[in-house]
Amino acid sequence: MATVLPELVSYLEGLPEPHILFDRQYRIVAANAAYRRQFSPRGSVIGRTCYEVSHHFSVPCDQAGESCPLARSRETGQRERVLHLHHTPQGESYVNIELVPLREVGGELAYFIEKMEPLRVAQGQPAAQGLIGRAPAFQRMLELVSRVGPSQASVLLLGESGTGKELVAQAVHEASLRAAKALVVVDCASLPETLFESELFGHERGAFTGANHSKPGLVEAASGGTLFLDEVGDIPLLMQVKLLRLLESGTYRRVGSTELRHADVRVVSATHRHLRAMVADGRFREDLYYRLSTFPIALPPLRERVEDIPLLAVALLARVTPDRRMALSADALALLQRCPFPGNVRELRNVLERAALLADGVCIEAVHVERALDTEDPHAGRELWSAESSHPAPASASGMSLRCVERAALRAQLQTHRGSRAELARKLGISERSLYRKLRDMDSADPPGP
Protein backbone atom coordinates (compact mmCIF):
# COMPACT_ATOMS: atom_id res chain seq x y z
CA MET A 1 0.00 0.00 0.00
CA ALA A 2 2.87 2.31 0.79
CA THR A 3 3.68 2.45 -2.93
CA VAL A 4 0.11 3.36 -3.86
CA LEU A 5 -0.26 6.09 -1.28
CA PRO A 6 1.78 8.86 -2.95
CA GLU A 7 -0.45 8.80 -6.07
CA LEU A 8 -3.57 8.69 -3.95
CA VAL A 9 -2.36 11.49 -1.73
CA SER A 10 -1.49 13.65 -4.71
CA TYR A 11 -4.95 12.95 -6.24
CA LEU A 12 -6.68 14.01 -3.00
CA GLU A 13 -4.47 17.08 -2.66
CA GLY A 14 -5.98 18.67 -5.78
CA LEU A 15 -9.65 18.06 -4.88
CA PRO A 16 -11.60 21.23 -4.05
CA GLU A 17 -13.49 19.74 -1.08
CA PRO A 18 -11.76 18.89 2.22
CA HIS A 19 -10.63 15.23 2.24
CA ILE A 20 -8.68 13.07 4.66
CA LEU A 21 -7.35 9.55 4.30
CA PHE A 22 -7.19 7.30 7.33
CA ASP A 23 -6.45 3.71 8.25
CA ARG A 24 -8.37 0.98 10.06
CA GLN A 25 -7.26 2.36 13.43
CA TYR A 26 -8.92 5.71 12.58
CA ARG A 27 -5.45 7.32 12.23
CA ILE A 28 -5.22 10.13 9.70
CA VAL A 29 -2.47 9.41 7.14
CA ALA A 30 -3.12 12.33 4.77
CA ALA A 31 -5.13 15.56 4.69
CA ASN A 32 -5.54 17.59 1.48
CA ALA A 33 -5.01 21.34 1.05
CA ALA A 34 -8.73 22.17 1.29
CA TYR A 35 -8.94 20.25 4.58
CA ARG A 36 -5.86 21.92 6.02
CA ARG A 37 -7.22 25.34 5.07
CA GLN A 38 -10.67 24.78 6.60
CA PHE A 39 -10.14 22.42 9.50
CA SER A 40 -6.53 22.58 10.69
CA PRO A 41 -4.89 25.87 9.67
CA ARG A 42 -2.78 25.90 12.83
CA GLY A 43 -1.19 22.43 12.92
CA SER A 44 -0.87 19.04 11.31
CA VAL A 45 -3.46 16.33 11.95
CA ILE A 46 -1.34 13.49 10.56
CA GLY A 47 -1.06 10.58 13.00
CA ARG A 48 -4.01 11.79 15.10
CA THR A 49 -7.35 9.97 15.13
CA CYS A 50 -10.36 11.36 13.26
CA TYR A 51 -12.59 11.14 16.36
CA GLU A 52 -10.11 13.14 18.42
CA VAL A 53 -9.66 15.83 15.76
CA SER A 54 -13.30 16.19 14.75
CA HIS A 55 -15.12 15.54 18.01
CA HIS A 56 -12.52 15.84 20.77
CA PHE A 57 -13.59 12.30 21.76
CA SER A 58 -11.18 9.81 23.31
CA VAL A 59 -12.99 6.85 21.72
CA PRO A 60 -14.45 6.28 18.21
CA CYS A 61 -17.79 8.02 17.60
CA ASP A 62 -19.91 4.87 17.80
CA GLN A 63 -18.54 4.21 21.29
CA ALA A 64 -19.39 7.80 22.24
CA GLY A 65 -23.04 7.51 21.23
CA GLU A 66 -22.67 9.04 17.73
CA SER A 67 -23.13 7.32 14.40
CA CYS A 68 -19.72 6.43 12.93
CA PRO A 69 -19.48 6.22 9.15
CA LEU A 70 -16.29 4.16 9.43
CA ALA A 71 -17.96 1.52 11.60
CA ARG A 72 -20.90 1.46 9.19
CA SER A 73 -18.66 1.27 6.16
CA ARG A 74 -16.72 -1.62 7.70
CA GLU A 75 -20.00 -3.48 8.12
CA THR A 76 -21.41 -2.77 4.68
CA GLY A 77 -18.14 -2.49 2.75
CA GLN A 78 -19.76 0.45 0.95
CA ARG A 79 -19.75 4.23 0.71
CA GLU A 80 -21.60 5.78 3.73
CA ARG A 81 -22.88 9.28 4.42
CA VAL A 82 -23.68 10.92 7.75
CA LEU A 83 -24.19 14.39 9.15
CA HIS A 84 -21.96 15.27 12.12
CA LEU A 85 -21.32 18.22 14.38
CA HIS A 86 -17.58 18.84 13.98
CA HIS A 87 -15.10 20.89 15.94
CA THR A 88 -13.63 23.43 13.56
CA PRO A 89 -11.44 26.48 14.18
CA GLN A 90 -14.65 28.56 13.89
CA GLY A 91 -16.43 26.49 16.59
CA GLU A 92 -18.70 23.52 16.16
CA SER A 93 -20.43 23.25 12.80
CA TYR A 94 -22.49 20.77 10.86
CA VAL A 95 -20.52 18.81 8.30
CA ASN A 96 -21.74 16.28 5.74
CA ILE A 97 -19.39 13.34 5.70
CA GLU A 98 -19.01 10.84 2.93
CA LEU A 99 -16.77 7.87 3.52
CA VAL A 100 -15.39 5.61 0.78
CA PRO A 101 -13.64 2.37 1.81
CA LEU A 102 -10.51 1.28 -0.09
CA ARG A 103 -9.59 -2.39 -0.33
CA GLU A 104 -6.15 -3.99 -0.35
CA VAL A 105 -5.16 -6.44 -3.06
CA GLY A 106 -6.47 -9.29 -0.88
CA GLY A 107 -9.90 -7.62 -0.61
CA GLU A 108 -9.50 -6.41 3.00
CA LEU A 109 -10.64 -2.86 3.84
CA ALA A 110 -7.39 -1.00 4.49
CA TYR A 111 -7.98 2.73 4.15
CA PHE A 112 -10.90 5.11 4.10
CA ILE A 113 -11.30 8.40 2.25
CA GLU A 114 -13.49 10.93 4.04
CA LYS A 115 -14.96 13.91 2.21
CA MET A 116 -16.27 16.76 4.36
CA GLU A 117 -18.73 19.40 3.22
CA PRO A 118 -19.88 22.01 5.71
CA LEU A 119 -23.68 22.33 5.90
CA ARG A 120 -24.24 26.01 6.43
CA VAL A 121 -28.04 26.01 6.75
CA ALA A 122 -28.03 25.11 10.46
CA GLN A 123 -25.88 25.73 13.52
CA GLY A 124 -25.24 23.78 16.69
CA GLN A 125 -24.38 26.95 18.59
CA PRO A 126 -26.05 30.37 18.91
CA ALA A 127 -26.16 32.19 15.58
CA ALA A 128 -27.78 35.40 14.38
CA GLN A 129 -30.05 33.65 11.91
CA GLY A 130 -31.17 30.30 10.53
CA LEU A 131 -31.92 26.97 12.13
CA ILE A 132 -30.38 26.12 15.47
CA GLY A 133 -30.31 22.79 17.25
CA ARG A 134 -28.25 19.80 18.26
CA ALA A 135 -30.72 17.36 19.85
CA PRO A 136 -30.82 13.92 18.17
CA ALA A 137 -34.38 14.56 16.87
CA PHE A 138 -33.20 17.83 15.29
CA GLN A 139 -30.12 16.18 13.77
CA ARG A 140 -32.22 13.39 12.25
CA MET A 141 -34.44 16.01 10.63
CA LEU A 142 -31.44 18.01 9.44
CA GLU A 143 -29.83 14.97 7.86
CA LEU A 144 -32.97 14.52 5.74
CA VAL A 145 -32.80 18.20 4.75
CA SER A 146 -29.19 17.85 3.67
CA ARG A 147 -29.91 14.66 1.69
CA VAL A 148 -32.93 15.98 -0.18
CA GLY A 149 -31.67 19.56 -0.60
CA PRO A 150 -29.54 19.10 -3.74
CA SER A 151 -32.19 16.96 -5.50
CA GLN A 152 -35.27 18.13 -7.40
CA ALA A 153 -37.66 16.05 -5.24
CA SER A 154 -40.84 17.65 -3.90
CA VAL A 155 -40.55 18.00 -0.15
CA LEU A 156 -43.48 17.99 2.27
CA LEU A 157 -42.74 19.47 5.70
CA LEU A 158 -45.04 18.18 8.44
CA GLY A 159 -45.04 19.72 11.88
CA GLU A 160 -46.96 21.62 14.49
CA SER A 161 -47.21 25.37 14.37
CA GLY A 162 -43.99 27.11 15.40
CA THR A 163 -41.67 24.14 14.80
CA GLY A 164 -39.75 26.02 12.12
CA LYS A 165 -41.32 24.81 8.86
CA GLU A 166 -40.62 28.09 7.08
CA LEU A 167 -36.98 28.05 8.24
CA VAL A 168 -36.60 24.44 7.11
CA ALA A 169 -38.09 25.32 3.70
CA GLN A 170 -35.44 28.04 3.44
CA ALA A 171 -32.77 25.50 4.42
CA VAL A 172 -33.93 23.06 1.71
CA HIS A 173 -33.75 25.90 -0.81
CA GLU A 174 -30.32 27.04 0.35
CA ALA A 175 -28.98 23.47 0.23
CA SER A 176 -30.20 23.13 -3.36
CA LEU A 177 -28.64 24.00 -6.69
CA ARG A 178 -31.37 26.63 -7.01
CA ALA A 179 -30.08 28.63 -4.03
CA ALA A 180 -28.97 31.56 -6.18
CA LYS A 181 -32.54 32.03 -7.45
CA ALA A 182 -35.66 33.04 -5.54
CA LEU A 183 -37.53 31.22 -2.80
CA VAL A 184 -41.13 32.35 -3.29
CA VAL A 185 -43.55 31.80 -0.40
CA VAL A 186 -47.21 31.17 -1.18
CA ASP A 187 -49.35 31.45 1.93
CA CYS A 188 -52.13 29.08 0.89
CA ALA A 189 -54.19 29.68 4.07
CA SER A 190 -54.71 33.37 3.45
CA LEU A 191 -55.04 33.27 -0.34
CA PRO A 192 -58.73 33.69 -1.26
CA GLU A 193 -60.09 31.06 -3.66
CA THR A 194 -60.94 33.76 -6.19
CA LEU A 195 -57.33 34.97 -6.34
CA PHE A 196 -55.57 31.63 -6.13
CA GLU A 197 -55.18 31.07 -9.87
CA SER A 198 -54.21 34.60 -10.86
CA GLU A 199 -51.74 34.92 -7.97
CA LEU A 200 -50.12 31.62 -8.76
CA PHE A 201 -50.18 31.68 -12.56
CA GLY A 202 -50.46 35.42 -13.26
CA HIS A 203 -52.98 37.03 -15.61
CA GLU A 204 -53.24 38.92 -18.86
CA ARG A 205 -54.55 42.45 -19.23
CA GLY A 206 -58.35 42.45 -19.34
CA ALA A 207 -58.62 38.88 -18.01
CA PHE A 208 -61.08 40.10 -15.37
CA THR A 209 -62.49 43.37 -14.07
CA GLY A 210 -59.63 45.40 -12.64
CA ALA A 211 -56.89 43.55 -14.56
CA ASN A 212 -55.49 46.71 -16.13
CA HIS A 213 -52.04 45.24 -16.69
CA SER A 214 -50.75 41.79 -17.36
CA LYS A 215 -48.97 40.37 -14.33
CA PRO A 216 -46.66 37.40 -13.86
CA GLY A 217 -47.66 34.95 -11.14
CA LEU A 218 -45.72 33.47 -8.23
CA VAL A 219 -44.78 30.39 -10.27
CA GLU A 220 -43.04 32.68 -12.75
CA ALA A 221 -41.39 34.69 -9.96
CA ALA A 222 -39.95 31.44 -8.60
CA SER A 223 -38.57 30.38 -11.99
CA GLY A 224 -35.24 28.63 -11.53
CA GLY A 225 -35.81 28.63 -7.77
CA THR A 226 -38.17 27.15 -5.19
CA LEU A 227 -41.92 27.58 -4.72
CA PHE A 228 -42.83 27.17 -1.05
CA LEU A 229 -46.51 26.29 -0.57
CA ASP A 230 -47.09 27.08 3.09
CA GLU A 231 -50.22 25.64 4.77
CA VAL A 232 -50.85 23.50 1.72
CA GLY A 233 -53.50 21.54 3.65
CA ASP A 234 -55.72 24.62 3.54
CA ILE A 235 -56.13 24.66 -0.25
CA PRO A 236 -59.78 24.13 -1.24
CA LEU A 237 -60.51 21.05 -3.39
CA LEU A 238 -61.20 23.04 -6.54
CA MET A 239 -57.80 24.73 -6.33
CA GLN A 240 -56.12 21.43 -5.57
CA VAL A 241 -57.02 20.29 -9.11
CA LYS A 242 -55.29 23.34 -10.59
CA LEU A 243 -52.20 22.82 -8.51
CA LEU A 244 -52.12 19.15 -9.45
CA ARG A 245 -52.25 20.06 -13.14
CA LEU A 246 -49.24 22.33 -12.68
CA LEU A 247 -47.27 19.64 -10.86
CA GLU A 248 -48.18 16.85 -13.27
CA SER A 249 -47.62 18.69 -16.53
CA GLY A 250 -45.02 21.22 -15.42
CA THR A 251 -47.00 23.77 -17.41
CA TYR A 252 -49.60 26.46 -16.72
CA ARG A 253 -51.51 29.26 -18.41
CA ARG A 254 -51.87 32.80 -17.18
CA VAL A 255 -55.52 33.67 -16.50
CA GLY A 256 -56.94 35.08 -19.76
CA SER A 257 -54.24 33.51 -21.95
CA THR A 258 -54.10 30.36 -24.06
CA GLU A 259 -50.31 30.31 -24.16
CA LEU A 260 -48.87 27.30 -22.35
CA ARG A 261 -45.88 28.21 -20.17
CA HIS A 262 -43.24 25.94 -18.75
CA ALA A 263 -42.76 26.04 -14.97
CA ASP A 264 -39.18 25.68 -13.77
CA VAL A 265 -39.77 25.34 -10.03
CA ARG A 266 -38.93 22.93 -7.25
CA VAL A 267 -41.86 22.58 -4.86
CA VAL A 268 -41.53 22.52 -1.10
CA SER A 269 -44.80 22.50 0.84
CA ALA A 270 -45.70 22.54 4.52
CA THR A 271 -48.68 21.89 6.71
CA HIS A 272 -49.56 21.47 10.36
CA ARG A 273 -52.54 19.31 9.33
CA HIS A 274 -52.75 15.52 9.16
CA LEU A 275 -52.82 15.33 5.37
CA ARG A 276 -53.19 11.55 5.32
CA ALA A 277 -56.32 11.80 7.45
CA MET A 278 -57.61 14.54 5.15
CA VAL A 279 -56.99 12.26 2.17
CA ALA A 280 -58.85 9.44 3.95
CA ASP A 281 -61.95 11.56 4.51
CA GLY A 282 -61.90 13.17 1.06
CA ARG A 283 -60.75 16.67 2.00
CA PHE A 284 -57.41 16.41 0.23
CA ARG A 285 -56.78 14.81 -3.15
CA GLU A 286 -54.75 11.63 -2.91
CA ASP A 287 -52.99 12.22 -6.24
CA LEU A 288 -51.90 15.71 -5.11
CA TYR A 289 -50.76 14.33 -1.76
CA TYR A 290 -48.45 11.87 -3.52
CA ARG A 291 -47.15 14.57 -5.87
CA LEU A 292 -46.27 16.84 -2.95
CA SER A 293 -44.84 14.25 -0.63
CA THR A 294 -42.11 12.57 -2.65
CA PHE A 295 -39.90 13.27 0.36
CA PRO A 296 -41.81 13.98 3.58
CA ILE A 297 -39.90 15.44 6.54
CA ALA A 298 -41.43 15.48 10.03
CA LEU A 299 -40.31 18.42 12.17
CA PRO A 300 -39.93 17.49 15.82
CA PRO A 301 -42.00 19.51 18.29
CA LEU A 302 -39.98 21.26 20.99
CA ARG A 303 -41.08 18.72 23.62
CA GLU A 304 -39.11 16.09 21.68
CA ARG A 305 -35.95 18.21 21.79
CA VAL A 306 -36.12 19.65 25.29
CA GLU A 307 -32.32 19.43 25.53
CA ASP A 308 -32.18 22.16 22.86
CA ILE A 309 -34.10 24.67 25.00
CA PRO A 310 -31.02 26.24 26.68
CA LEU A 311 -29.23 26.64 23.32
CA LEU A 312 -32.35 27.99 21.61
CA ALA A 313 -33.10 30.29 24.54
CA VAL A 314 -29.64 31.89 24.44
CA ALA A 315 -29.71 32.24 20.64
CA LEU A 316 -33.27 33.54 20.43
CA LEU A 317 -32.74 35.97 23.30
CA ALA A 318 -29.85 37.52 21.37
CA ARG A 319 -32.09 37.72 18.29
CA VAL A 320 -34.99 39.43 20.09
CA THR A 321 -32.79 41.86 22.06
CA PRO A 322 -29.99 42.69 19.62
CA ASP A 323 -29.02 45.88 21.45
CA ARG A 324 -29.13 44.69 25.07
CA ARG A 325 -26.69 41.72 25.32
CA MET A 326 -28.92 39.97 27.85
CA ALA A 327 -28.24 36.76 29.77
CA LEU A 328 -30.44 34.11 31.39
CA SER A 329 -29.92 32.96 34.97
CA ALA A 330 -29.57 29.23 35.63
CA ASP A 331 -32.97 29.23 37.38
CA ALA A 332 -34.61 30.96 34.43
CA LEU A 333 -33.16 28.35 32.07
CA ALA A 334 -34.27 25.51 34.33
CA LEU A 335 -37.79 26.94 34.42
CA LEU A 336 -37.90 27.25 30.62
CA GLN A 337 -36.85 23.62 30.33
CA ARG A 338 -39.84 22.57 32.44
CA CYS A 339 -42.37 24.39 30.22
CA PRO A 340 -44.38 22.40 27.69
CA PHE A 341 -44.35 25.07 24.90
CA PRO A 342 -47.23 23.82 22.77
CA GLY A 343 -46.49 26.78 20.46
CA ASN A 344 -42.99 25.32 20.03
CA VAL A 345 -39.98 27.48 19.15
CA ARG A 346 -42.14 30.47 18.24
CA GLU A 347 -43.69 30.39 21.71
CA LEU A 348 -40.28 30.10 23.37
CA ARG A 349 -39.14 33.11 21.37
CA ASN A 350 -42.22 35.11 22.41
CA VAL A 351 -41.80 34.21 26.08
CA LEU A 352 -38.18 35.38 25.92
CA GLU A 353 -39.17 38.62 24.23
CA ARG A 354 -41.71 39.31 26.98
CA ALA A 355 -39.33 38.27 29.76
CA ALA A 356 -36.71 40.67 28.33
CA LEU A 357 -39.24 43.49 28.43
CA LEU A 358 -40.12 42.64 32.02
CA ALA A 359 -36.47 42.68 33.16
CA ASP A 360 -34.85 46.05 33.87
CA GLY A 361 -31.27 44.80 34.02
CA VAL A 362 -29.35 42.61 31.63
CA CYS A 363 -30.10 39.31 33.35
CA ILE A 364 -33.40 37.49 32.95
CA GLU A 365 -34.28 35.73 36.21
CA ALA A 366 -36.83 32.97 36.82
CA VAL A 367 -39.30 35.56 38.11
CA HIS A 368 -39.27 37.34 34.74
CA VAL A 369 -39.89 34.07 32.92
CA GLU A 370 -42.73 33.28 35.33
CA ARG A 371 -44.33 36.64 34.67
CA ALA A 372 -43.82 36.23 30.92
CA LEU A 373 -45.55 32.86 31.09
CA ASP A 374 -48.41 34.30 33.17
CA THR A 375 -49.03 37.14 30.73
CA GLU A 376 -49.30 34.63 27.95
CA ASP A 377 -52.65 33.12 28.75
CA PRO A 378 -54.12 34.76 31.82
CA HIS A 379 -57.65 33.45 31.30
CA ALA A 380 -57.32 29.87 30.34
CA GLY A 381 -53.96 28.47 31.44
CA ARG A 382 -51.11 27.76 29.00
CA GLU A 383 -51.90 24.09 28.45
CA LEU A 384 -55.08 25.04 26.69
CA TRP A 385 -53.05 25.77 23.60
CA SER A 386 -51.90 22.20 23.32
CA ALA A 387 -54.90 21.12 21.24
CA GLU A 388 -52.61 19.66 18.60
CA SER A 389 -49.93 18.42 20.94
CA SER A 390 -49.74 15.47 23.26
CA HIS A 391 -49.45 17.58 26.40
CA PRO A 392 -52.14 17.16 29.02
CA ALA A 393 -54.74 19.89 29.07
CA PRO A 394 -56.27 20.03 32.53
CA ALA A 395 -59.45 21.69 31.36
CA SER A 396 -60.30 18.73 29.17
CA ALA A 397 -61.06 16.79 32.32
CA SER A 398 -64.29 18.74 32.60
CA GLY A 399 -65.63 16.69 29.69
CA MET A 400 -65.15 19.26 26.91
CA SER A 401 -63.04 18.30 23.90
CA LEU A 402 -59.68 20.04 23.64
CA ARG A 403 -60.84 21.87 20.58
CA CYS A 404 -63.89 23.23 22.46
CA VAL A 405 -61.67 24.28 25.32
CA GLU A 406 -59.35 26.03 22.90
CA ARG A 407 -62.25 27.84 21.25
CA ALA A 408 -63.60 28.92 24.63
CA ALA A 409 -60.18 30.27 25.57
CA LEU A 410 -59.84 32.07 22.26
CA ARG A 411 -63.28 33.62 22.67
CA ALA A 412 -62.28 34.85 26.13
CA GLN A 413 -59.12 36.36 24.70
CA LEU A 414 -61.03 38.08 21.90
CA GLN A 415 -63.41 39.67 24.39
CA THR A 416 -60.68 41.22 26.50
CA HIS A 417 -57.97 41.89 23.93
CA ARG A 418 -57.84 45.52 22.79
CA GLY A 419 -54.90 45.47 20.39
CA SER A 420 -54.38 44.22 16.85
CA ARG A 421 -54.64 40.61 15.68
CA ALA A 422 -50.86 40.58 15.30
CA GLU A 423 -50.46 41.51 18.97
CA LEU A 424 -52.98 38.88 20.02
CA ALA A 425 -51.15 36.21 18.03
CA ARG A 426 -47.90 37.25 19.70
CA LYS A 427 -49.51 37.12 23.11
CA LEU A 428 -50.77 33.60 22.44
CA GLY A 429 -47.42 32.40 21.16
CA ILE A 430 -48.83 31.44 17.77
CA SER A 431 -48.32 32.88 14.30
CA GLU A 432 -50.79 35.31 12.81
CA ARG A 433 -51.54 32.65 10.27
CA SER A 434 -52.38 30.13 12.99
CA LEU A 435 -54.61 32.69 14.70
CA TYR A 436 -56.34 33.39 11.38
CA ARG A 437 -56.90 29.64 10.98
CA LYS A 438 -58.21 29.19 14.47
CA LEU A 439 -60.63 32.10 14.05
CA ARG A 440 -61.82 30.68 10.77
CA ASP A 441 -62.29 27.20 12.29
CA MET A 442 -64.17 28.83 15.15
CA ASP A 443 -66.45 30.70 12.76
CA SER A 444 -67.29 27.57 10.84
CA ALA A 445 -67.79 25.57 14.06
CA ASP A 446 -70.18 28.04 15.64
CA PRO A 447 -71.81 30.28 13.05
CA PRO A 448 -72.85 33.67 14.39
CA GLY A 449 -76.19 33.58 16.20
CA PRO A 450 -79.35 35.22 14.76
Chain residues binding ligand ATP by CB under 6 A are: 131-133, 159, 161-167, 272, 345-346, 349, 431, 433-434
Asked if residues 337 and 310 have their Cβ atoms less than 8 Å apart, the reply is yes
Q: How far is the CB of 164 from ligand ATP (least distance, A)?
A: 3
Asked if residues 226 and 271 have their Cβ atoms less than 8 Å apart, the reply is no
Q: How many Cβ atoms are within 10 Å of 86's Cβ, its own excluded? A: 20
Closest by CA position to 155, among listed 205, 225, 229: 229
Q: How many CA atoms lie within 13 A of 346 on its CB side?
A: 21
How far apart CA 339 and CA 312 sit, in angstroms, is 14
Nearer residue to ligand ATP within complex by CB, 255 or 373 = 373
Q: How far is the CB of 437 from ligand ATP (least distance, A)?
A: 9
Q: How far is the CB of 433 from ligand ATP (least distance, A)?
A: 5
Asked if residues 405 and 384 have their Cβ atoms less than 8 Å apart, the reply is yes
Asked if residues 292 and 156 have their Cβ atoms less than 8 Å apart, the reply is yes
Q: Are strands 155-158 and 295-298 parallel, antiparallel or unpaired?
A: parallel
The beta-strand segments (E) located in 159-278 are 183-187, 202-203, 215-216, 226-230, 251-252, 261-262, 266-271
Q: How far is the CB of 228 from ligand ATP (least distance, A)?
A: 10
Nearer residue to ligand ATP within complex by CB, 141 or 255 = 141
Q: How far is the CB of 176 from ligand ATP (least distance, A)?
A: 18
Nearer residue to ligand ATP within complex by CB, 163 or 176 = 163
How far apart CA 434 and CA 146 sit, in angstroms, is 28
How far apart CA 328 and CA 306 sit, in angstroms, is 17
Helices (H), 281-329: 286-292, 309-320
Q: How far is the CB of 134 from ligand ATP (least distance, A)?
A: 10
Nearer residue to ligand ATP within complex by CB, 60 or 162 = 162
Q: How far is the CB of 119 from ligand ATP (least distance, A)?
A: 14
* C-alpha pair distances (Å), 314 with each of 123, 189, 330, 374, 401: 13, 32, 12, 21, 36
Q: How far is the CB of 137 from ligand ATP (least distance, A)?
A: 11
Nearer residue to ligand ATP within complex by CB, 48 or 273 = 273
Q: How far is the CB of 82 from ligand ATP (least distance, A)?
A: 20
Q: How far is the CB of 173 from ligand ATP (least distance, A)?
A: 13
State the DSSP string of 345-406: HHHHHHHHHHHHHH-SSSEE-HHHHHHHHHHH-TTT-GGGGGTTSSS--GGGGGS--HHHHH
Nearer residue to ligand ATP within complex by CB, 166 or 331 = 166
State whether residue 323 is helix, strand or coil: coil
Q: How many Cβ atoms are within 10 Å of 180's Cβ, its own excluded? A: 9
Nearer residue to ligand ATP within complex by CB, 389 or 434 = 434
Q: Please list, in sequence order, all residues whose beta carbon lies within 8 angstroms of the beta carbon of residue 397, skipping any fewer than 6 positions away.
A: none
Q: How far is the CB of 422 from ligand ATP (least distance, A)?
A: 13
How far apart CA 238 and CA 223 sit, in angstroms, is 24
Nearer residue to ligand ATP within complex by CB, 60 or 343 = 343
Nearer residue to ligand ATP within complex by CB, 54 or 154 = 154
Nearer residue to ligand ATP within complex by CB, 225 or 300 = 300
* C-alpha pair distances (Å), 197 with each of 186, 242, 254, 291, 367: 12, 8, 8, 19, 51
Cβ-proximal residue to ligand ATP, closest one:
164
Nearer residue to ligand ATP within complex by CB, 160 or 204 = 160
Q: Please list, in sequence order, all residues whose beta carbon lies within 8 angstroms of the beta carbon of residue 357, skipping any fewer than 6 positions away.
A: none
